Structures are given as C-alpha cells and as structure tokens.
C-alpha cells in the first residue's frame, strides 16, 4: 500500500492507476489526513444500472400513481426494459407549461 498526497497523485496519476491495476492500493492524503483511495476494481466488483432522465422519472411516477389508482400494473423484466418502455412513451408528451402559459408574463413574453 502506498500513501501519497493529492498533489503527488495529480503529478503521478498514470503510474498510480497502473499500480492499482497490478493489485496495489493507494491512499490519498490531504496533509496528514487520509481522504480517499485508489483501489483495483473489475467489472465483477460492481454493476452500473441504467439511469432514468428527469422526464422519464416523472412519467414513471405519474404512471405508477395511475396504476395504483386504477388497480392495474405493468411488470418489467429488467431495468433496461423499463427504461425502453418509458422512452417509448416520450412521443406525444407535451412539455410542461407549454399549453398553460407557465413561464410567460401577462403580455406573452418569456420571464427572465
């Protein structure tokens, strides 16, 4: 295990990452305080799932509320299929405030 200052890590980042690839752990210090680590990882160590955009998340919450109210539900087999389902629902969805005039003054100009 190596302990290096952040300044030294910035100057030697490539070499420190190569050391981590070889299995070594590198501890980053701010002064005498330990603040972070560079450690070896592999694809098996973690899984990054798909992320929903804000509009997709809003549609999901609206759909869940509707399903709860109506007693219906849609079951997705995977997060990827859920994202694809929500993405497909994007067509025909009006932008928030577009029909109601939200964001416009009484003269019809956009607010700043």
Whole-structure pTM over 0.85, yes or no? no
Please report, in tens digits, the pLDDT of each residue of the chain (112 residues total). Answer: 899 999 999 999 999 999 999 999 999 999 999 999 999 988 777 776 777 888 888 888 898 888 888 888 777 888 888 888 877 765 444 434 444 444 444 444 444 4
Question: Where do you find CATH 3.40.1620.10 in the chain?
Answer: 2-41
What is the CB neighbour count within 10 angstroms for residue 28? 19
Fold of 2-41: YefM-like fold (3.40.1620)
Which 3 state secondary structure label does DSSP give 6?
A: helix
């Amino acid at each position: 295990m190596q302990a290096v200052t952040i300044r030294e890590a910035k100057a030697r980042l490539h070499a420190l990452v190569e050391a981590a690839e070889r299995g070594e752990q590198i501890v980053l210090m701010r002064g005498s305080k330990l603040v972070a680590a560079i450690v070896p990882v592999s694809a098996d160590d973690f899984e990054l799932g798909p992320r929903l955009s804000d509009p997709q998340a809003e549609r999901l919450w609206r759909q869940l509320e509707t399903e709860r109210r109506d007693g219906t539900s849609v079951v997705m087999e995977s997060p990827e299929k859920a994202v694809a389902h929500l993405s497909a629902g994007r067509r025909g969805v009006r932008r928030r405030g577009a029909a109601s005039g939200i964001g416009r003054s009484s003269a019809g100009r956009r607010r700043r």
